[in-house]
Structures are given as structure tokens and as C-alpha cells.
Amino acid sequence: MSNAPTRLLAVLTASLALVAAGIAVAPAQPATAAACSGAGCNGKDPDTTGCAQDGKLLETKALDGSVKVQLFGSAACKAKWARSVDAPNGGAVMVANRDYSVKYTRKTDGARKYVWTAMINGNNPARACLGPQNSDALTCTALH
């Protein structure tokens, strides 16, 4: 049997004693150290690297109904990635640099609300695109 309830009670009692004594108790903050930076993030997952923690939505482009493509950026990682929203099967979401010489594509999955790409160097302008697989008929955000 676990002593977790007893330990929790001890921590709470100690915290209350500190508060009663006028000592501020701040909650623990998670570490946000970037696992990669800039070009070092190329091809890496924003979630597993921790870059998604400070990810900011840079632009959303609506396609049809609730289907959207979004471009995200992380200041801590200096990286960008694309995400599709409600995209059906048979599509592809892509993040690409200005001349498409560096790009990462992932197939959409109609069973998943969100599908995101690997990251690209955020020190350079990038765009997010969505369209049918193996097609040039893409809807893209502006370069950011």
C-alpha cells in the first residue's frame, strides 16, 4: 500500500505552516529549456522537443468549413511548424521555407483533429500549406 496520502498530508501541513508564518510558497514551475535551436530543430517534433510549450500561432488560413492550416513558431527554439485542423484523409500538411528548398510534409488523418509537421529553422521566413497529397494545389499562409 502506498504512503502517497500520508506524504501529501505532510506537504500540505508544511505548506500551511509556511503560509501562516508569512512565508510565500510558490508552485514549482516546469523547466522550459529548449532541446534544439534554429537549424538544429530541422526535422524534429515540436512536442517531444518541448518547443510546443512556448509555441505561438502566427497565422491561420481557412480552407473549407472547419478545415484550416496554421503556422506556429517557438521563440525559445527559434523554430516553426505547420498544423492542420480537421483535414480529411488524403491531404498533406507542410511547412516550408521561402523557396521550398527545406520542407517537411505529413499526411493528414481524418480521424485526428490536429496533425502537425516536423519543425523548420525559425530564423528564416517559413509558411504552412495544406492540400491534397502529391498535388501543387496548396493553400498556404504568408511567409512569417
Q: What is the pLDDT of residue 32?
A: 54
Q: Which three cell numbers stand for residue 5?
A: 496520502
Encoded amino acid at 113, one letter: K
Q: Count the alpha carbons within 13 Å of 27 in the hemisphere toward its beta carbon.
A: 2
Q: What is the pLDDT of residue 132?
A: 94
Residues of the chain with pLDDT under 70: 1-32
Specify burial of residue 117 (Cβ count, 10 A radius: 0-12, 13-18, 19+): buried
Q: Which three cell numbers stand for residue 122?
A: 525559425
Q: What is the pLDDT of residue 34?
A: 81
Nearest to 127 by CA among 79, 75, 71: 71
Q: What per-residue string of b and e applies to 87-110 under the rule 16 or more CB within 10 Å gives b?
A: beeebbbbbbbeeeebbbebebee
Q: What is the pLDDT of residue 6?
A: 43
pTM of the predicted protein model: 0.77
Contacts with 138 (C-beta within 8 Å, 6 or more apart), sequence order: 94, 129, 130, 131
